[in-house]
Chain A
């Protein structure tokens, strides 16, 4: 993986040294991490999942860094990492070995405020003050490292930190004032003299329960939420199989579940209620839903099947859907399968959603239709076909029972991919 020899590649020119390798730290172990905070070198023992924001606040007593959303959106936790603004909630402390961190406490002290702090005070750039540490660290980074961006469009350049008091005018006036006073660069942080960092115990500080709600509640009845659905899916797929065979698949819930990538029937409570499991894998997102499907309408003459489905993920995400499947014969002896689904999402998956939810649901239904066609043709759906068809990696089998099948399927998939890439 080296660049062409005639043009030697340059190392990362950011003021970042190459981090030292770290041997594996198990999930429940801690690692000693040494970094400099506001001019003082410190070592903390942290588990891999502890993020820098928590470590600064809970372990080092530096509560000037605030935590808002804890997933990178609000900017409250902005600190300087090796001189550049970064979100402390999107950095694990184990990643910060050898780093130089400056928090708002390092920017200035009550007796010796940084010019930015003085300007925030003079321009009344804070109301409740919650966003102020993030605003200060972000604006320091802007004026120190990218003053041209500040001159070009200050509101956009400062858009990475949110203020819910809507005090933006004062904030922008303060930053603009400092930019004007120091056209050649803002003065260095002035609170970085060596000091004693207040150590705190490591007992569970800032740690969430490890697996809150591991056991998904067992559902016995499907209840659809009221209100408009998160996504509406309408997919029409031409199938080659005749309509009677397609209807045969639609009424065989075990087979039907297998047609949906990542889904499996677990048990049938009665003719109309079926418990199942479905996994959706999208890049780093991996959701495992336990749920129930309940047939509410079955019309053999019109080849129309309507069911309600509901599923819960262990991480607190939930989905439910009102699905109508209709198979109609086509003149060429095939079948047109239409699927209409009102999909409701709740929990974290809904926050993550955007248009993705509908787009992914639609692809799933298209793949489902292809599975129905194959099942109608052959009476089963092969893992290999499923694997090849899937853009969404079929993680159908998170449970050990079918783990072996999955590994085989993955190997086959990998082989197919590699062939495809050549």
Chain B
């Protein structure tokens, strides 16, 4: 399987990247771990691949502002996985081992996962759950979009053909935060049949202040819901189950495939959601964040 011919360019600045993208026939290449298979299968034939890895500001990553962790477009998943500062966004180390395989994370980028927006991918779900801020540059200038608004459908985002996703900023965890992450896949490293990401925040007295749950692999994109009211129905997994079963009926609308029917995915989702919400709540109350 060989890709159809394409032109290749690796511009030195973001402006040059945008100039190359003008016309809309090019594709941004960072790690290429999602894009290159598409080219190999000839499901896509862009005229030009614009490699963004030589743009200095796109290789930056680290804490930003008071409570943010920012990752620019050319930063590889494995670099983030090993960055001690990324531990401040607990969902990153929780989710990262499930992103493809080690051999893919060595080249794949965090921003590339977001831009590709596969409905079963882990990092877009984490970004949606935390409502990370996505920076996009295009012919009209730079803009910042919340992750939930950024993804508009299966492999479809608000970034147009002349835009480039330049960075994403995840909010770091604070006191009273607890997180949960789980997915079920046929094999380790495969796309999830169903997965959940959640964040629960409690007040000093332990009362649930806010709770957000994102499901992935269950629709044409990651789906996020406010579940603070749901957590009022109980705090143990089995007490939460009736409510998550109801939630699954509403949230899981994928048609299913040979790997799992809609019903099976609903069941997976309901079980994982109850389990991870209960864990996240316990972690939030005990001040342990992730364990």
Q: Which residues of A approach B to under 8 Å, CB–CB?
A: 1-4, 6-14, 16, 18-28, 31, 47-49, 51, 54, 69-73, 75, 78, 81, 84-87, 89-92, 94-95, 138, 141-142, 146, 149, 155-157, 159-161, 206-208, 210-211, 231-233, 282-287, 315-317, 348-349, 351-360, 362-363, 391-393, 410, 413-414, 417-418, 420-422
Asked if B160 contacts A71 (CB within 8 A), the reply is no
Q: Which of the residues A9, A18, A70, A86 comes within 8 Å of B70, measured between beta carbons?
A: A9
* CB–CB B7/A12 < 8 A: no
For the complex, give the distance between the alpha carbons of A208 and B45 in Å: 14
B57 A2 Cβ-Cβ under 8 A: yes
Asked if A358 and B257 sit within 8 Å, CB to CB, the answer is: yes
Q: Does B65 lie within 8 Å of A4, measured CB to CB?
A: yes
**Which positions 131-165 of chain B face chain A at CB distance < 8 Å?**
135-140, 142-143, 145, 149, 152-158, 160-162
Complex CA gap A206/B153 in Å reads 36
Determine whether the beta carbon of A49 is less than 8 Å from that of B3. Answer: yes
- Do A12 and B255 touch across chains, with their CB atoms under 8 A apart? no
Within 8 A of A (CB), among B41-81: 41-49, 51, 53-54, 56-65, 70, 72, 74-76, 78-79
Contact status B142-A414, CB under 8 Å:
no
Q: Mark B75-89, 1 if CB is under 8 A from A, else 0.
A: 110110011000000
In the bound complex, CA of A353 to CA of B256 (Å): 11
Task: Return chain B residues, CB-CB under 8 Å to A23.
Answer: 9
CA distance A353 to B24 in the complex (A): 25
State the CA gap A331–B136 with chains docked (Å): 47
- Check B40–A315 contact: CB distance below 8 A: no
Q: Mark B113-129, 1 if CB is under 8 A from A, else 0.
A: 00111011000000000
Decide yes or no: A27 and B10 within 8 Å by CB, A355-B256, A414-B162 being known contacts: no
Q: List 9 A-B contacts (CB under 8 A).
A: A14-B78, A22-B51, A70-B2, A81-B106, A92-B49, A231-B255, A283-B157, A284-B38, A418-B138
- In the complex, are the beta carbons of B103 and A10 less than 8 A apart? no
Q: How large is the interface on B (under 10, 10 to 19, 20 to 34, 35 or more residues)?
A: 35 or more
Contact call A27/B35, Cβ cutoff below 8 A: no
B160 and A25 form a contact (CB under 8 A): no
Partner of B135, one of A1, A21, A31, A70: A1
Which chain A residues lie closer than 8 Å to B62 at the CB level?
3, 7-10
User: Do A284 and B139 touch (CB < 8 A)?
Assistant: no
Tell me, in angstroms, the Cα distance from A22 to B29 when the chains sit together. 13
The residues of A that contact B162 with a CB separation of less than 8 Å are: 414
Q: Is B5 an interface residue (CB 8 A)?
A: yes
Mark the stretch among B186-194, B229-237, B275-283 that contacts chain A: B186-194
